[in-house]
Amino acid sequence: MIAGSLGAREIYAVDVHPDSVATAAAHYERIVGDRTDTVFRPLVSNLFEEFPDSARLDVITFNPPAVSARTSDDPTVVRNVCVGAEIVLRFFDQIVTRDLLAPEGEIHLIVSNTAELKRIVGHGIDAGFRPVVLHRQTWEGDNCQAYLFKLIRHDAA
């Protein structure tokens, strides 16, 4: 919604869950509407698997279900919360392998200390990205810390 409201040329709204993609598309239509200067592409995909080979992205945002501990037996909760670090490792690997991030592009990633934070950030660094913490959120009475990272390619720094 924000990218469309700010006039992005092309937007992919992506999730592995078809109902989530349909919901995003409905909200986009309701909030942003039809913009002749923006192409909106709702896409059901496991990370970037269904993206066209020609895709080059200026900004990628990801709030992964990277919690390490299984918090429920409900498959919907597991899919949305506790898949583990591997999904973020594949995320970085697909971006690099498919050369998805445009020059000067950036990734915005939200990960908390309920995930394998050091492993995730370390893999991002090993994949060629430089992380910067843009925001750290804590909650009173809770040991959870959520981080908003911006990652850019080392060579773009």
The CATH number covering residue 57 comes to: 3.40.50.150
Q: Report CA-CA distances (Å) from 28 to 12, 17, 33, 71.
A: 11, 17, 6, 31
93 and 142 belong to one structural domain: yes
Structural domain tally of the chain?
A: 2
128: left (phi over 0), alpha (psi -120 to 50) or beta: left
99 and 140 belong to one structural domain: yes
Q: Report CA-CA distances (Å) from 87 to 7, 27, 114, 123.
A: 30, 26, 14, 12
73 and 24 belong to one structural domain: no
84 and 40 belong to one structural domain: no
> What was the pLDDT predicted at 77?
45
115 and 101 belong to one structural domain: yes
79 and 138 belong to one structural domain: yes
82 and 144 belong to one structural domain: yes
Give yes or no for residue 147 having a pLDDT over 90: yes
Q: Domain range holding 38?
A: 1-45
37 and 60 belong to one structural domain: no
59 and 119 belong to one structural domain: yes
- Residues 44-95 pLDDT 10s: 999 999 999 999 999 999 987 666 655 556 565 444 445 668 889 999 999 9
Q: Is the pTM of this model over 0.75?
A: yes
> What was the pLDDT predicted at 157?
53
